[in-house]
């Protein structure tokens, strides 16, 4: 039976450094994928922010109250670090919806993570955030509201708008991430 997050946190706080590694391993891929999609495939930026996220996680576990799941809390931390980086460095690229290249209109079956990451540059930051949390992280609209601080109606609007833009890119009717 897998060890729960709470058990790993308790072990880490009791001095078990292996528990820290287990927590990082458990969430590393989801946090990195989340950040790669937010950064439109900038793997170096995503990896840097993921590393900082896990450093902050370990430093903040003693004050983690468990009001939300550890995964939701980590996505919140990653998002806040990402926002601070974007506002101070602004390395991200955005492409206007009207400038969608013909080359991006590929069959739905050819889509993979790399294509999805590249397609994120066609979305606004809030669209990237909400659609990634909804489909890649599998969060509910309420969990997305916890992470982002946005109202539920706004979250639904951003997800719907992002789905439509991505479907246009793929020249399909519906978008399943």
Angstrom CA distances, 103 to 26, 39, 99, 169, stand at 36, 21, 11, 9
Q: What is the CATH number of domain 5-89?
A: 1.10.1740.10
Q: Where are the beta strands (DSSP E) in 55-148?
A: none
Kindly report whether the global pTM for this prediction surpasses the value 0.85. no
> What pLDDT does residue 3 have?
85
pLDDT, mean of each 10-residue run, the chain (177 residues):
86 93 94 88 90 94 87 92 80 47 38 68 89 86 92 94 85 51
For the chain, where do the domains classified as CATH 1.10.1740.10 start and end? Answer: 5-89
> What pLDDT does residue 68 have?
85
For the chain, where do the domains classified as CATH 1.10.10.10 start and end? Answer: 97-170
Q: Which residues contact 2 (CB under 8 A, 6 or more apart)?
A: none
Handedness of CA 102, 108, 38, 43 (dihedral sign): negative
Quickly name the fold that domain 97-170 has.
Arc Repressor Mutant, subunit A (1.10.10)
> What pLDDT does residue 41 have?
79
Q: Whole-angstrom Cα distance, residue 171 to residue 42?
A: 24
């Amino acid at each position: 039976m897998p060890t729960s997050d709470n058990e790993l946190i308790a072990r880490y706080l009791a001095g078990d450094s292996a528990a820290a590694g287990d927590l990082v391993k458990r969430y590393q891929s989801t946090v990195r994928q989340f950040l790669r999609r937010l950064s439109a495939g900038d793997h170096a930026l995503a990896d840097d922010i993921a590393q900082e996220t896990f450093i902050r996680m370990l430093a903040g576990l003693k004050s983690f109250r468990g009001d939300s799941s550890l995964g939701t809390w980590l996505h919140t931390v990653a998002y806040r670090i990402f926002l601070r980086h974007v506002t101070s460095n602004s390395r991200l690229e955005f492409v206007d919806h009207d400038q969608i290249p013909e080359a991006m209109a590929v069959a739905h079956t050819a889509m993979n993570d790399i294509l999805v990451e590249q397609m994120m540059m066609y979305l606004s930051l809030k669209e990237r955030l909400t659609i990634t949390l909804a489909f890649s992280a599998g969060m509910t609209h309420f969990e997305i509201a916890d992470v982002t601080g946005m109202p539920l109606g706004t979250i639904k609007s951003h997800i719907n708008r992002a789905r439509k833009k991505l479907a246009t890119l793929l020249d399909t009717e519906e978008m399943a991430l």
